[in-house]
Amino acid sequence: MLKRLLLLIGLSLLSLPSWALLSDAEAMNLSGMQRMLSQRIAKNYLMIGAEIRAEVAIQQLDQSVAKFESNYQALSQYAPTDEIRIALSDTGKTWNSYRELALSLPDKQQAPQLLELSDQLLVQSEKLVQLIERHTGSQGAHLVNRSGRQRMLSQRIAKLYVAISWHLPISQLDAQFQRAVDEFDVALKELRSAEQNTPAIRKALQQVDAQWSFARTGFRLSADSHYVPTVIATTTETLLWQMNELTSQYETVMLAGS
């Protein structure tokens, strides 16, 4: 196993120093990013264990852990209501257990426990996003939420695909994978029809469409047990960055409307 280098910088996804006071739009983006990171961390753990682009996965894992931590600190300072503070506290408890396991040597026997924690953290992060969206009362917040959730789905799809191709002994993996794919489809259609879309956003959505079509070609191969985890990891990575840029653009739309 390659020696892990714990990077102290976060992902260069839209981020702020943990001491900066977040606006509502920034809090929406960062809380949505936590959903994505919960799945990205598990995906990278599995990729390392299955020896799929392990060097890249090690770097991504450490960056993602550092980014989740810095986002958590920034959101804790932002927390404007007791309900949001309680949700953050619940997330933090799960995060402590998840982080410890995620940074251990990847092991196929421990992988089911890791995936269970990743799903628990996702549910808690989703609750936090919904609470912040409700607090803002902004129509634009819904688009930031929806676009940000696509980032998460890109990583959840990759996580589940790697788990299936690694033949983990977990029931319903195929059904979970198909639900994630279907949800990405539905949300992409919703974003394309949003009245708030600018010309730049419409162009970016066309690029996402093209990349999504390419990714789905790889999904069809797996239906015949021809797994291509390296291809799927690469295509979903591109989807992540495309959706991250779109989320930043929707954040700008939200700020303009506030």
State the pTM of this model: 0.89
Say if 232 falls within a structural domain.
yes
> What's the first-to-final CA gap in the chain, in angstroms?
49
Say if 181 falls within a structural domain.
yes
Say if 192 falls within a structural domain.
yes
DSSP 21: P
Q: What is the pLDDT of residue 15?
A: 44
Band of pLDDT at residue 16, cut at 50, 70 and 90: very low
Band of pLDDT at residue 17, cut at 50, 70 and 90: very low
- Using only C-alpha atoms, the chain has a radius of gyration, in whole angstroms, of 17
Q: What is the pLDDT of residue 258?
A: 61
Say if 64 falls within a structural domain.
yes
Say if 13 falls within a structural domain.
no
Q: Residue type at 88?
A: L
Task: Write out pLDDT tens, residues 20-70.
Answer: 689 998 999 999 999 999 999 999 999 999 999 999 999 999 999 999 999
DSSP 197: -
Band of pLDDT at residue 225, cut at 50, 70 and 90: low
Q: Domain range for residue 201?
A: 24-257
Task: Write out pLDDT tens, residues 150-184.
Answer: 999 999 999 999 999 999 999 999 999 999 999 99
Q: What is the mean pLDDT of residues 136-156?
A: 91
Q: Which residues contact 52 (CB under 8 A, 6 or more apart)?
A: 46, 162, 229, 230, 233
Q: What is the mean pLDDT of residues 173-202?
A: 96
Say if 14 falls within a structural domain.
no
Of residues 82 and 255, the one with the higher pLDDT is: 82
**Average pLDDT over all residues of the chain:** 90
Are 116 and 170 in contact by the 8 Å Cβ rule? The answer is no
| Alpha carbons 28 and 33: distance in angstroms, whole number | 9
Are 68 and 34 in contact by the 8 Å Cβ rule? The answer is yes
Say if 11 falls within a structural domain.
no
| Alpha carbons 173 and 176: distance in angstroms, whole number | 5
Closest by CA position to 167, among listed 120, 111, 118: 111
Q: What is the mean pLDDT of residues 178-196?
A: 96
Number of compact structural domains in the chain: 1
Say if 162 falls within a structural domain.
yes
Q: What is the pLDDT of residue 134?
A: 93
| Alpha carbons 105 and 173: distance in angstroms, whole number | 23
Write the Ramachandran bin of 225: left for phi over 0, alpha for psi from -120 to 50, otherwise beta. Answer: left
